């Protein structure tokens, strides 16, 4: 399996996980992600989860990957690198570090040029 194939499968699994969490969760999680991006220059999806303890956890945490990819597609964030996750449940896995593009106020009205 190539890296590209692995990413494609991972993205598809994240989408299924988000769909299983339901439309209400997807919209609430996306709004939480957008708000976090608006107020923080660099962060991980894990940071967004931790900052929103009142948001119910999805049945599968991979659902957050779908939310992050949607935010990227909508120009709210861009990937700027990789960091080790702090969560004990993922055992130091490498995760995406996100940032708000310099010309982006986090409202989703910008284009994503990467």
pLDDT tens track for 49-87: 999 999 999 999 889 999 999 999 999 999 999 999 887
Count Cα atoms within 13 angstroms, Cβ side, for 63: 21
Q: Can you read off the two tokens belonging to residue 105?
A: 């106020």
pLDDT tens track for 21-48: 889 999 999 999 999 999 999 999 999 9
Using CA atoms, how far apart are residues 18 and 14, in angstroms rounded to an integer?
6
CA distance readout (Å), 34 to 3, 8, 84, 108: 28, 24, 22, 8
HEC string of the chain equals CCHHHHHHHHHHHHHHHHHHHCHHHHHHHHHHHHHHHHHCCEECHHHHHHHCCCCCCCCCCCHHHHHHHHHHHCCCCEEEEEEECCCHHHCCCEEEEEECCCCCCCCCCCCCCC
CATH of domain 3-54+61-99: 1.10.10
Domain segments of the chain as ranges: 3-54+61-99
């Amino acid at each position: 399996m190539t890296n590209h194939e692995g990413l494609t499968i991972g993205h598809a699994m994240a989408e299924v996980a988000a769909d299983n969490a339901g439309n209400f969760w997807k919209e609430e999680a996306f709004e939480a992600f957008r708000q976090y991006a608006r107020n923080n220059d660099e962060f991980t999806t894990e940071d967004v989860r931790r900052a929103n303890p009142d948001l119910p956890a999805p049945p599968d945490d991979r659902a957050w990957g779908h939310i992050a990819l949607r935010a990227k597609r909508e120009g709210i964030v861009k990937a700027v690198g990789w960091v080790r996750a702090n969560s004990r449940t993922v055992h130091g896995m490498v995760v995406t570090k996100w940032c708000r593009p310099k010309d982006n106020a986090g409202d989703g009205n910008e284009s994503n040029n990467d």
